[in-house]
Amino acid sequence: MLSETTFHDRRINASIGHLFVRTWEPSQLRSEVPIVLFHDSLGCVDLWRSFPSALCAATQRRIIAYDRLGFGRSDACLAPPPLSFIEDEPTTSFAALHSALQLTHFIALGHSVGGCMAVHCAGQYVEQCQGVITIAAQALNEARTRQGIEEAKIAFQLPEQFAKLEKYHGDKARWVLNGWTDTWLHPEFEHWSLIPALRRVICPTLVLHGENDEYGSHRQPDCIARYTSGSAHSEILPGIGHVPHREAEAVVVNYAKEFTERLTP
């Protein structure tokens, strides 16, 4: 039987603005090393839904999730994200979180573009990051990625679809959507690659990817597992799309549990 979990919210007063943070605590703590969650391009703390609590109970580790500046319940960001927004994360929102929570060691887990940010943070905080878990992360901006975003851009023109973003991001929803589509579809972003960042990662990495991911072929997890400098294990999840932790929560939680149990406490 999984242990019970509790959570508490706080706002970090950072130089870039106030950031919303939620922390889940297990009833029994297995390790002092927490798992930090990095959300996707349209995501936020609330859109992780039940996954953090399930992960917390299974791993018996503290789970920390935060809304990047401009997302969810964090402050708005007036400027559009730069094309360097992925590689900037270790020195922007995550740096504020790292300082405020005084993280000495952590495990980085990210979904989609959040997985790319987790990789960059692992490479920047080499001595502190004990492991990386990527879920449906991109390593390359391939044609399939851009096609999926083009289709989503059209879908979000429908008021009922855009209302789903507004539910979680409020009046920041348009900024969130434009930041995603305008960046990934920008001509200068077409040749973006995660490979240089992967080569700086020396900790173990778990790579999870859905068989039917609409934003990335199997080249994505293959590339992540191949180019990380540390040990890496990749799993293709049968019948799963771009949101494995929602489509097959128990499966993803179990992979994460087994992976973290092999790490240094």
The ranges assigned to domains in the chain are 5-261
Contacts (Cβ under 8 Å, ≥6 apart) of 143: none
Which position has the higher pLDDT, 222 or 13? Answer: 222
pLDDT (0 to 100) of residue 265: 66
- The rounded distance, in Å, linking the Cα atoms of 105 and 127 is 8
Instruction: Give the model's pLDDT for residue 1.
Output: 43
In this prediction the pTM is 0.97
Q: What is the pLDDT of residues 206-236, one digit of tens each?
A: 999 999 999 999 999 999 999 999 999 999 9
CA distance 109 to 133: 5
d(CA 238, CA 161): 27
pLDDT higher than threshold 50 for residue 162: yes
DSSP letter at 62 equals: -
CA distances from 42 to 178, 219, 236 (A): 10, 23, 23
pLDDT range class, residue 60, cuts 50, 70, 90:
very high
Residue 84 has pLDDT above 70, yes or no: yes
pLDDT at 3 (0 to 100): 63
Q: Which CATH class is domain 5-261?
A: alpha beta
